[in-house]
Chain A
Amino acid sequence: MDTFLLKNINTPGSADISVYKKSGGYKSLKKALKMKPEDIIDEVKRAGLRGRGGAGFPTGMKWDFASRDKNFPKYLLCNADEGEPGTFKDRPILEKDPHLLIEGMAISAHALQAEQGYIYLRAEYPAAKKILEDAIDQAYEDGILGEGIMGSKTNFDLAVHRGAGAYICGEETALIESIEGKRGQPRLKPPFPVNVGAWGKPTIVNNVETLSNLPLIIEIGADAYSKIGNPDCPGPKLYSVSGFVNKPGVYELPMGTSLKDIIYDHCGGIKNGGNLKAVIPGGISTPILPPDKIDCQMDFVSLPKCGSMLGSGAVMVFDESVCLVKVAARAMYFFEHESCGKCTPCREGTGWLRNILERIENGLGRRGDVELILEVASNISGKTFCPLGDGAAGMVLSFIKHFSDEFDEHIENKKCSVN
């Protein structure tokens, strides 16, 4: 298929506004500014766009909730805190095509009547900060940001807010706390950010990739857009593929491309002719899958039927040289490290799970440890404010579900059977 989200990234000088305009950039914004806000929201609803950050919430519905709230001002926040391990899909847009994001945000701001936007950028992407700020400056110079954008009556100001290294700030209420200058600890919902968000005002938080779909939706219209990929959750999708494949990287493919096609056709198969052992389809928080599930389509509707989730579309491929107990232990260390500490089950549970997983990996596992993991994990799931704890529990439960033999072998043989 033709690429849209990544079509500019290999053009020399792609981050420059003149290069972006040469390839048709900002035409969709011009078109959108002539549309009524409610018509744009309707178009996004009919397009079937779902949030690309991980949760897959229908974007048009979120926007509709926000637009019904008559409290002003409203804020549009772009979630560029891409921190889910395995995920690097937004980085090409942030570093190579910042104007695509700015155009998407300006269209969204017009639809939502939000006059101030912020890009919440993770501190781990220092290069992107300067690139985005330079692009924003160019957009101001060109009248694309500021008062009366492109000669319309719509105003939109945009700035970059730099995070400081906290995975939890990818969760929208933690992101809002962080932009308010606080520790990034999630809020209890409701109220939802669309009603009570940043500085107590209606706030729309959308992912980089989600917002970058807006120019395409406006350009080709909802009918054409909804025919891309799986009609149940259409559109182009960025998949970031890592691990043991011949050609890892970010791939723009129609939503619903099968895992098998991604791994074997697009990424050239398993590295060094090895055998596939397991694959995590949507970042470390999504359940791992065994090889017999790779016919599954990579989208929000199909993956749950196969026992996982699309998450951020971060495909992590493991061959037979990888010890999955070790992977689970390292992943749990991550969750322990990144737990914000607000909810006891997550704060304490992730630490205990990491402890048990490490002792199994190190040959010190005891009989009953697997059952203990199941028990601790079940005391995290559904008992926390935000999904971090659920992700941690779901991750380890899926490893045990599909690869319990490997855990048992470690415990029986008192050593790692792979390394």
Chain B
Amino acid sequence: MSLLRVEGLTVALPPGGDRPHAVEDVSFHVDAGEILCVVGESGSGKSISANAVMGLLPKGLPVRSGAISFEGRDLLSLGAEAMRRLRGQRLAMIFQEPMTALNPLMRVGDQIAEVLRVHGSGADAARRVPELLAAVNLPDPAAITRSHPFRLSGGQRQRVMIAMALALEPALLIADEPTTALDVTTQMQILRLIREIQSRRGMGVLFITHDFGVVAEIADRVAVMQRGRIVEQGPAAEVLNRPQHPYTRALIAAVPHGAAEARAAIATASVLELRGVEKTYRRGGFFGARAVVRAVHDADFVLRRGETLGLVGESGSGKSTLARCVVKLVEPEQGTIAYHGTDLRPLSRAAWKPYRRRIQMVFQDPYASLNPRRTVGDTIAEGPVTHGEPRGKALERARELLRLVQLDPGAMDRYPHEFSGGQRQRIGIARALAMEPELLIADEPVSALDVSVQAQVLALLAEIRARLELTMLFITHDLRVAAQICDRVAVMQRGAIVEQGPTSEVFAAPQHPYTRQLLDSIPGRGWTPPEL
């Protein structure tokens, strides 16, 4: 008998949505001692399925039909109080956002003790809580017990969440994208932790993710969801290496393969050269202790014509700050930013203006990088108009650019909210290209996109770069993406570049320990996506 069995589950969406059901006729099961990964893109209904099992669906999403049985009991017919007693005790769940998943006003120890207390085992909380924190490999459990969540990092908070979920040794753990918000090295640690605890305790795990690398890392079996339906399920090795359904095949084909091919060295003239650039943030006002953060230091690099340099690092490594220094969105205190030999750093706003035509930027968040109150056409034409081009001509050019980024020119008069994330990112690229720049800075241009869209945008960038002979500074946290698009990479850690070189060399023979750690942390590095 399976631990969890979901049969023909259908959950309705509120009227007016893009489809009638959030999930439709979904069936899967989880056995004790196995990890089932439910994988799909955003909006595929994977989280809804998980929440339905926990009995935590929002009021607007009622279960229409189907059955969920857990340890032989029908969960859907269980009363609210009986369901509550199961939650935290036999069924536990961890979430995507560790930063907001803990009560900010309650000490960590009290939050863990609360699970024990509400299920009637509060008596040994004082002994159990430090044990649990130690079990998830947190240092100094006694101190962490007394801490408030804001003192802990994202990875530490996710460990606390796991400790809390495991407090009463549940039979089933539901993990809803538990590593998506974490850095790659932390992600690997958490994945290993879940795997280790799961095999030690023989728990069943329902693991929700969008990342096939994570699937390859952790799954025993896989269920692929698309638009509310499971389109394919089977053993992990089977689905990953011999996908049957066209959607699964498309998804896997879109996964960056992570292997860097050797490229010819580029020995053209230098376009951009950074030397001794330093940016330090001081926090705290008139009253209050000041904290000093060295956001960028020791980060020299040279970018040659036609070359793509990847700045790779985890969050807080200073890669975005460094890129923003180049376009004066951030003003460093020291160093030279030489563009064709001219130091841009000391230039005034007005003196900088001519260089705006030469250096452009593509941003990360397609939902925040377009002015919601301006039409697409105006957005793209705006740059040239600012630099004195007649409006009619700029709009004509915007129309051409839309074609170049593979959008319908009819998009000109529409507003950003009418477009999907991938389409918006194309508009953002068109806006940058409208200035006919020589140097394009791309700040995590694909990290907010679903994997299939990500592949399309990357392909577009590669094509445009070749066609327009662009020089590119490409910022990313995803090593697989860097491997695919960059000629050279520079690895950043805590504000400094610790290693740089041709991509294939850095990937094949990393010199710095941090680079090695990063490469080891790529989820699913043992899996090479099949050629499809």
A, B co-complexed: no
Q: Which residues in B have some Cβ–Cβ distance to A below 8 Å?
A: none
Q: Which residues in A have some Cβ–Cβ distance to B below 8 Å?
A: none
